[in-house]
Homo-oligomer: A and B are copies of this chain.
Amino acid sequence: MDGAVDALPRAPLSRDRVLRAAVARADEAGLDALSMRKLAQELGVVPMALYKHVANKEQLLDGMIDVVVAEIEDPAPGAGWKAAVRQRILCARRVLLRHPWASQVIESRVSPTPATLRYLDSMIGTLRRGGFSVDLTHHAIHALGSRLWGFSQEVYNEPPGGEADPRTQALMLGEMRAHYPHVTELAMAVSHDDASVVGPGCDDQFEFEFALDILLDGLDRLRDLHGQPGGVFAERPTRPVPGT
């Protein structure tokens, strides 16, 4: 009974296999459904086996981010800095839309992993070659913030209340209009084709690019001021004195 029966003796684990399985599970079942125990089960292995390949759950998450960030393609060479940055960030966004859990995890990381450093380095390089001073580059990276990684940190998409029957919904609408008239006006205008206030209603991709372009245009303008004597962001501007 125990001879050559167990046909597939199960491919051996490896850090890579663990990470890929974790990413897959998070993709299809969400981040909450990703526990060391469930992941181990999915790999046909006892939970503690994972710890031979990742130090702990934090490092698992680090590794998962590395996998995801590595999916962001290199920029097409030859374009201007703005097109290159824009294209790359939109690519990052496409990647992150494939892995909806990733934004939350990226936010929670405390120190960068190799793939993120590679990405950052390349992005910084693009700006520097585009004529940005070191300092302006620094500010630009901060200003882009999470948009660098392709997500936008939306405020609440969902109205309160969720779905309810139309009658109470109409009632809630009245409440809303009374207490938060401006929010209501905006929500109604945005979802003008829908009958109700609910639903995403707004085009996330548009909003993302809208803000991205404001930032890129603003940075472009500042870049042009660079270099002239006393220019705003010439190399080594005086930093504001700390602690005032």
Assuming the contacts A152-B142, A206-B240, asked whether A185 and B215 have C-beta atoms less than 8 A apart, the reply is: no
- The answer to whether the Cβ of A8 comes within 8 Å of any Cβ in the partner chain is no
A198 to B222, CA, bound (A): 28
Question: How far does the Cβ of A77 sit from chain B's closest Cβ, in whole Å?
Answer: 16
Interface of chain A, main secondary structure:
helix
Question: Interface segment, A49-57, A87-95, A131-139?
Answer: A131-139
* Identical copies in the complex: 2
Most buried by B among A142, A210, A219: A142
Which residues of chain B are near A122, meaning CB under 8 Å? 182
Pick from A10-18, A40-48, A103-111 the stretch touching chain B. Answer: A103-111
A interface bracket (residues with beta carbon within 8 Å of B)? 35 or more
Chain B residues whose CB sits within 8 angstroms of the CB of A217 once the complex forms = 218
Is residue A148 contacting chain B, with contact meaning CB distance below 8 A? yes
Contact at A153–B162, with CB atoms within 8 Å? Answer: no
- List A residues at the B interface (Cβ < 8 Å): 104, 107-114, 116-118, 120-122, 124-125, 128, 134-135, 137-139, 141-143, 145-146, 148-149, 152-156, 158-162, 179-183, 185-186, 189-190, 202-203, 206-207, 210-211, 214-215, 217-219, 222, 239-240, 242
**Docked-complex contact A181 and B121, CB < 8 angstroms:** yes
Residues on the B chain within 8 Å of A181, using CB: 121, 125
Contact B142 A146 (CB under 8 A): no
